[in-house]
Structure 1
Amino acid sequence: MVQFVGWEAKYSGVLSSIGKIFKEEGLLGFVGLIPYFLNLLGCVVFLWGCNLLAHFISAYLVDDSFRQALAIRGHTKYVMGIVVSMLTYPFLLVGSLQAGLPCYSPVFKSWIHCWQYLSIKGQLF
């Protein structure tokens, strides 16, 4: 991103830049990607959890002989989205705040610091 904004020419492509960062800084050069992986993990768990729970409820808990089974099956995914979002929200929030702009959010040393800060403030959920 800095190369794009500052018109620098340090990296020539994605793979070569990964190799160059690893050679110059080692594994610690990629620590800044952890918030993005937390965000991605939150999204994947959210989608997987919604679909798995909605399928389980629709297939095994709602009986076809029940008069409003079709209506319940139709709303199951929506309700499961709310339930699963409560579980995955901290991952999405920490990933977004850690990668956010300093003028809109505090500057955090790491994603763990961000998680602890939000937990102390009672804003993690």
Structure 2
Amino acid sequence: MGVKTLLLLLVALEVRLAAGGQNGRSMPGSPTNISRDDRGLQQVVLATAYSFNNQSNDAFLFKPSTVHRAQRQVVKGVRYIVDLDVSRTICRKRDHNDHDLSNRSIGSDRPSGQRLDDLRPCPSESCV
């Protein structure tokens, strides 16, 4: 085989690999889309919200409200890639030591009728 033939085969192989592997399946180690109901994803989303609350100087707790995109990548462990929104609740951080986010109301329900900046994008990557 000539050098040109080998070069052509190499280019064809690269194009095939870049197109997503064999028969439309993803390549090993590449991120794959997962369901928003995935148990591991739910744990990562909750951990992200706890981390956001710990790092935020806001007086109110935030909770996850919408997961826009979720992917899982298996490399040396599991890596989750998540695009989500967090919303401000009506619960003050100082009033709640348990920080259980499952039963918190979103900020637009404030008794005083005051509107808060409810929605904040929160892209996250987490390794388990």
TM normalised by structure 1 equals 0.28
TM-score scaled by length of structure 2:
0.27
Give the structure, 1 or 2, with the largest relative contact order (CA under 8 Å, sep 6 or more).
1
Judging by fraction of residues, say which structure has more helix: 1
